Amino acid sequence: MALSDDRAPVAVVDIGSNSVRLIVYESASRARRRFTTRRCFAGWGGSIATTGKLDADGVSRALRALRRFRALIDQLQVRAWRVIATAAAREADNGPEFIAQVERVLGRKVALLSGTMEAELAALGVVSGIYAADGFAGDLGGGSLELIDVRGGRLSDAVTMPLGGLRLIDTSQGNLKKAREIVDAEFDKLDWLEKGRGRDFYAIGGTWRALARLHMTQTSYPLSVMHNYRIPAEDALKFAALLDHQSQSSLAGIRDISSARRETVPYGALVLERLIKQMKPRAIVVSVMGIREGLLYSLLDEGEREKDPLLELCANLAKQRSRSLENAYELCAWTDALFQAPGPVETPEEKRLRHAACLLSDIGWRAHPDYRGVQSLNLVAHGDFVGVDHPGRAFLALTAYYRNEGKDDLSQKLIELVDKDTLKRARILGAAFRAAHMVSAAMPGVLPNTPLTYEGNRLIWTLPEPYANLEGERVERRFKTLANLLEREPEIRVGTQFQLAAG
């Protein structure tokens, strides 16, 4: 049954092996954003392997947190919400009793996911948040690891394995050498891991996110965004091998690793190290979208699922922050003329990112003029976007900066995320936005009637009546900057002899 499409808040209560979480999203659309998140590290699944039961103290903490979650759901007037439970509740002898308690507290049926269902929903989370995902998704929780092949939205070779961080600590009795033997024995059972060779591995789960956060800090990475953070497999292997030899005490002083994750990080690093050696992927890509997002994605209708999440989010932001969403869409069409022969030619992905940049071009207009460039850059560089990798995010941020600033005095760290051609496209687009907004004032109806064209070595901008009086020295300067970046001679044609665009 599909979720309501009335843009009302939706929520998921996720009962895992180490924590319970409540995530409320603004809506069930492809452009959904997290409205609020609550979690409690209960750790009740840490002794299932040896005792067969959920820890009593952990159960008490979880139920207390769930009562609070239910109060928040009522307070936020969330009508559409689901409750899911995973490995620990599924495998414990007292799991059914715990589920019954949860249902009484929440007043809602709990969907107890099988291992295969966990893997499939995690993969759908990757599909919903990473554009054209192609590789293996791995969701590492406290009790289990789910692996699944993701290729063009098609899912195959799903498996669940008893390799969650808490489970490994329990079964190995806290011995990392013994844990390595357990991990290798489980991976040896799979004869299809080689299908991941040379493809991406999408890492899901808090333990792997903690590992990636530490890697960001160690490498002085210029972005703080975790989603789509990419580590070459060789680098990830060395880093994981280093971490899986660390004790809790040695990790205690590292601020990037929370106390709740400190115990499981060496075991998560161990699983990742052994997986890389077996699978030989090209890179590890962090996905903050997993089972919960996959569940909501699965409940959307087909039309909503097929929408581009990046463009939907950018349009949403433009609607909230720019002066005219219609003008932003007109800017997409107006700049189309720049990026076709004889001008620079784009790939489909480059065109997609350009249209996203057009939608974001006016989101900083309310900021103080002295800070519009930096504030727009930060809003995009660190914003809650999905469907874009980090080089693409850097391109969008740089374009937003160049749209507001006529100078190039940025930190080289961010620029290093893009290649020279991409940086030049960001400068071209920024210059185009500066010229366009000078004439349109971000109002709709102007750009369709003031087109750009190439004629030989010239870039022509036509300003017919009634737009002729908008031409001036600043317009000329900004247009000349654009033409120079395109290695063309600028020409602005003004007057009554030029016809308005049809319609």
**How many whole angstroms from its chain centre is CA 455?**
41
Task: State the pLDDT at residue 1.
Answer: 43
The single-letter code of the amino acid at 208 is W
Task: State the pLDDT at residue 193.
Answer: 93
**126 in Cβ contact with 99 (< 8 Å):** no
For CA atoms 10, 396, 439, 346, give the dihedral sign.
negative
List the helix and strand counts (H, then E) for the chain: 22, 14
**16 in Cβ contact with 141 (< 8 Å):** yes
Task: State the pLDDT at residue 54.
Answer: 87
Q: Is the peptide bond before 232 cis (omega within 30 degrees of 0)?
A: no
* 10-112 placed in CATH 3.40.50.720: no
If phi over 0 gives left and psi between -120 and 50 gives alpha, with beta otherwise, what is residue 326? Answer: alpha
The single-letter code of the amino acid at 465 is E
Check for a shared fold between 10-112 and 309-494. no
What is each CA distance from 98 to 54, 55, 63, 173, in whole angstroms? 8, 11, 9, 25
**196 in Cβ contact with 136 (< 8 Å):** yes
Task: State the pLDDT at residue 500.
Answer: 41
Measured from the Cβ of residue 245, the count of other Cβ atoms closer than 10 Å reads 11
Distance CA 174, CA 261 (A): 15
**Fold that domain 116-292 belongs to in CATH:** Nucleotidyltransferase; domain 5 (3.30.420)
For CA atoms 60, 61, 62, 66, give the dihedral sign.
positive
Hunting for tokens 């990112």 — which residue is that?
A: 353
Parse the chain into domains and list their residue ranges.
10-112, 116-292, 309-494
Radius of gyration of the chain (CA): 26
**Which residues does 25 contact at the CB level (< 8 Å), separation at least 6?**
9, 10, 11, 32, 33, 34, 35, 296
Task: State the pLDDT at residue 18.
Answer: 79
How would you classify the pairing of strands 80-85 and 111-112? Answer: parallel
Task: State the pLDDT at residue 30.
Answer: 86
pTM reported for the whole predicted model: 0.91
**477 in Cβ contact with 406 (< 8 Å):** no
Distance CA 199, CA 147 (A): 14
Q: What is the pLDDT along the chain (503 residues), one digit of tens a residue?
A: 455 445 689 999 999 887 899 999 988 888 788 899 999 987 776 677 778 888 888 899 999 999 999 999 999 999 999 999 988 888 888 999 999 999 999 999 999 999 999 999 999 999 999 999 999 999 999 889 999 999 977 899 999 999 999 899 989 999 999 999 999 999 999 999 999 999 999 999 999 999 999 999 999 999 989 999 999 999 999 999 988 676 555 555 556 666 667 788 899 999 999 999 999 999 999 999 999 999 999 999 999 999 999 999 999 999 999 999 999 999 999 999 999 999 999 999 999 999 999 999 999 999 998 899 999 999 999 998 999 999 999 999 999 999 998 666 676 788 999 999 999 999 999 999 999 999 999 999 999 999 999 999 999 999 998 899 999 999 999 999 999 999 999 999 997 555 443 33
Under CATH, domain 309-494 is a member of which superfamily?
Hypothetical protein af1432 (1.10.3210.10)
Question: Which of these, 9, 79, 23, lies nearest to 293 by C-alpha position?
Answer: 23
